Structure 1
Amino acid sequence: MPTRHAFVVHEQPPSIVLDDGKHSREISPLWLRERTQAPDQLEPLTRQRLFDSHAIDTALTLDSATRLDEHHVVLAFSDGHRETYDLRVLAGELDGATIFPAAEPWDASLDRQRVRFDWRRVREEPAYFRASLEAYLRYGYLVLYGVPTDPERILQVGGHYGYVKETNFGRYFEVYSRPSGNDLAYRSVALGPHTDNPYRNPVPGIQLLHCLVNETSGGLSTLVDSLKVLERLRHETPDGYALLKTMPVRFRFVDAGTQLVTHRTMIQTDDDGHPTGVHYSPRLDALPLLCDAKTRLFHRARQRLGELFTDPTYEVRFALDAGELLLFDNSRVLHGRTRYDTREGHRHLQGCYLDSDGPRERFASLLKHRDSIEEVA
């Protein structure tokens, strides 16, 4: 829940004091000057500054502060700038207000109808497309149905939700059993929960898997929400959780044509230290060099993480049928599959990656479009 901020205006000497109910502190004139709301200081469409805020005099002072009403104050600065500030706008800067829905951790009890959407309606109905984007931002994955199974259709779907990211596997890749493939995904063996390409920098943000043919009874898709699992891991072993969050490990990929290596923590966090996902692939990581006690603690924590990822409490399993497409946050939602028997029939999927900011951009654009229509109406 956002913190409620109150602004106290002092006229002599002029100052603006921020009070969040627990602490109070004076706001720097530099911070206030940079957050100008004046029309001649900001380009109206982009809200980008029309001046170089880095060139503001370091010795800038607040010459006067006059409160007009509950929400407005007139501020005058030593550089000659004077304007009326809306304190609600400043509060929005501090509250971290966002137009995007918050992530909602889930377990195996999630009603999967919340994340199933008809691709034909997604393409044709902006409000329905927006609903699918909202579901993705909340739960970290979608299943689209009614997707034609012609080759490269996955690129059209990917382009609708964001920007396709090309890798050494190409713009898209084929997933079917072939013994000479350069990844275990190209075998019929079971794949445990994992994130794709943790050795790449940056890690692909979103993965799509489109089922073209599935004639087997095995090969069930598995998904697990790392945010829900991490809540439990942090409760069970806070010290181990802290190690996984702060100690980088090596991830490495090698095939006949290339080698990719990077170091990153197993638990991914935002700038405030809150978990946003994991980098997890037992086939590709390596224990960091720590003292024996910390090595054992680190290993116990990652071992427990792996146990929780396959716990039926958290893992969902389902058959991805022909014409269905799975789209998921590659770091938040781990994916895998059960083994299948190639003698039963053919199983063929296509996959591709998207940059992670695509769905947010699409969601914001649809909100702006909706708001502009409502203003006209």
Structure 2
Amino acid sequence: MSKLQITEVCPKGTTYPLIANFLHGNPTDHFMAEECLLLKNEENNLKTVLTKVDNLLYVGDEEEDALSKTFIVKRNRNTGKVQILDAGIVNLKPVIYDNNDVTSMEVNNLELSRKFGSKKQKQIMEQREKLKVNVETVTEQMQNVTQEITEDTLDLSAYQNTNSDDFYIPTIDREATKAEDVYKVENMLTEAQYDIIISEIDGKECTADLLPICQEVLARKTLSEKLNVLLIYADCLLKLYAKPARDITKKNYVIMPHSATLNEICLSNFTSMSNGRRVRSGPYKDKTLCHAIVFLLLINNLKIELNSLCETLKLSPATASTKARVTGASIATVGGKKVVQLKLPLNTKKIFRRKSAKF
């Protein structure tokens, strides 16, 4: 045997030979060369080969050579020089697929049942056809529906934290050392809102149609511009509290015709939107009354008569007292009359609330 002289060893580079093994068969002399598709896996740099032989699709992944390597010996007959080439191995497996489409088979069965089936079979096939759902049509319909949904069509008022007293009352300082500092007039509205509302009601007779309880407060003392705005604000809230819910849903409903700013504040803070309509749920109605009580307390030296509040809104003393206590005020007897009085320490007695979050 002649000795071979190895002149070059070629490791794997960007291109290298692949040895293809066909599963369940070996190439014979009748094998004809076929074109193949060579793919590369970017993660491990291994090759995938696809080819077609006798109307069969063969696919194979290159084997990893971590434990062993395969070499091809290449000899030049003229020079006798020998090259050793690092090669890869691919095992090609046939991919068996069925040309019969399941959908076409169902259609054929449907046509056969229509033509040759019994009356009962025809009815069954017609019912199945009616129950079929076009997925693309349903998807398109759902997309159209979701595009039309806006924030106004979703009533989120039921998810508000209405179990906390802070929902029903204005900004409060529970750590205040004086009763006058528990609620601040400056915190009821912003400076800009006060200025705009003052300019809007300037020269207009806004106090002529005030409710009796507000008229009583106005008759006792001369009010500053901010307290005058706060009194009108309280009057609007008391009227809003007494207004039937069906009237609030009207598009042209206005609670304060002399000030567009104050009207918007009342409607946006004490009502909510549902399906494009303005509504007032139970918690928002109670919030309206609690804010009005706080405003009247600030204007009238932290005291208001309970009987006057009940007569204005046609409330029972027990109901009015329950609402007033949420503000931190207490019910006291002064001169034989019951009054709602804001004093320290604040009334922190827990109020029983029904499951509807109303009180």
Q: Same-fold call, TM > 0.5?
A: no
Q: Which has the higher helix share?
A: 2
Scaled by the length of structure 1, what TM-score is found? 0.23
**Greater relative contact order (CA < 8 Å, ≥ 6 in sequence):** 1
